[in-house]
């Protein structure tokens, strides 16, 4: 029987395909919300490149992710281990990888289907709007999942 997810995990990993857009955005949002009260990391199935649109969308709300360096699951494991009690996956590929890596570990894995804004073509503003949409969706999910019960409304 699967144990119920912990109300407040101590270490959270966000994962997506390339660790260049969705997972670093989510990690930065959770860090801003909860500070140092828990450990937050991010990783990808494959290694991506820094994404200027992701940095721009986050900068609009006062969060700087321009120094983010994309990491794969394997690189993260080599650097610091995969010592997380919750892995939130944002793409099907990352979800399968997380389930494979945690088969024998007591780790909760939650899947939050999140669109890939890099798939959007158009003007700079249209593309940036896609990133803003993902950022705002992640922020809503993070607030729902990690806000303390009965906490003050913002």
DSSP percent split of the chain into helix, strand, coil, nearest 5 = 45, 15, 40
Asked if residue 3 has pLDDT above 90, the reply is no
Is 29 a domain residue?
yes
Q: Give CA–CA dist 130/51, Å, rounded.
A: 13
pLDDT of residue 77: 84
Q: What angle do CA 84, 87, 90 make, to 5 degrees?
A: 155
13, β-bridge pairs: 41, 87
- Among 119, 144, 117, 126, which residue's Cα sits nearest to residue 24? 117
The CATH number of whichever domain residue 57 belongs to comes to: 3.40.50.2300
Is residue 47 included in any domain, yes or no? yes
In the chain, how many domains are there?
1
Whether residue 103 lies inside any domain: the answer is yes
> Each residue of 106-152: pLDDT tens digit?
889 999 999 999 999 999 999 999 999 999 999 999 999 998 765 54
**β-bridge partners, 43:** 15
Specify burial of residue 33 (Cβ count, 10 A radius: 0-12, 13-18, 19+).
middle
Q: Is 123 inside any structural domain?
A: no
Residue 25 lies in a domain: yes
Q: pLDDT for 59-93, tens place per residue?
A: 999 999 999 999 999 998 888 777 899 999 999 99
Residue at 126 is within a domain: no
What gap in Å lies between CA 116 and CA 46, rounded to an integer?
15
Domain contains 15: yes
Whole-structure pTM value = 0.89
Q: Could you give the dihedral angle defined by the CA atoms of residues 15, 17, 19 and 22, in that order, rounded to the nearest 10 degrees?
A: -70
Note whether residue 4 is domain-resident: no
d(CA 21, CA 16): 8
Domain of residue 32: give its range: 11-115+131-145
């Amino acid at each position: 029987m699967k144990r119920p997810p912990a109300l407040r995990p101590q270490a959270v990993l966000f994962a997506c395909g390339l660790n260049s857009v969705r997972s670093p955005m989510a990690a930065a949002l959770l860090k801003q919300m909860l500070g140092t009260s828990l450990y937050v990391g991010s990783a990808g199935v494959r290694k991506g490149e820094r994404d200027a649109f992701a940095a721009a969308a986050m900068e609009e709300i006062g969060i700087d992710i321009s120094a983010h360096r994309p990491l794969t699951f394997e690189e993260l494991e080599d650097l610091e281990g995969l010592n997380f009690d919750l892995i939130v996956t944002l793409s099907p590929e990352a979800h399968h990888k997380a389930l494979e890596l945690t088969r024998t570990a007591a780790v909760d894995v939650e899947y939050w289907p999140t669109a890939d804004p890099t798939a959007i073509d158009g003007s700079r503003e249209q593309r940036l709007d896609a990133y803003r949409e993902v950022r705002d969706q992640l922020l809503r999910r993070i607030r729902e999942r990690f806000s303390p019960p009965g906490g003050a409304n913002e």
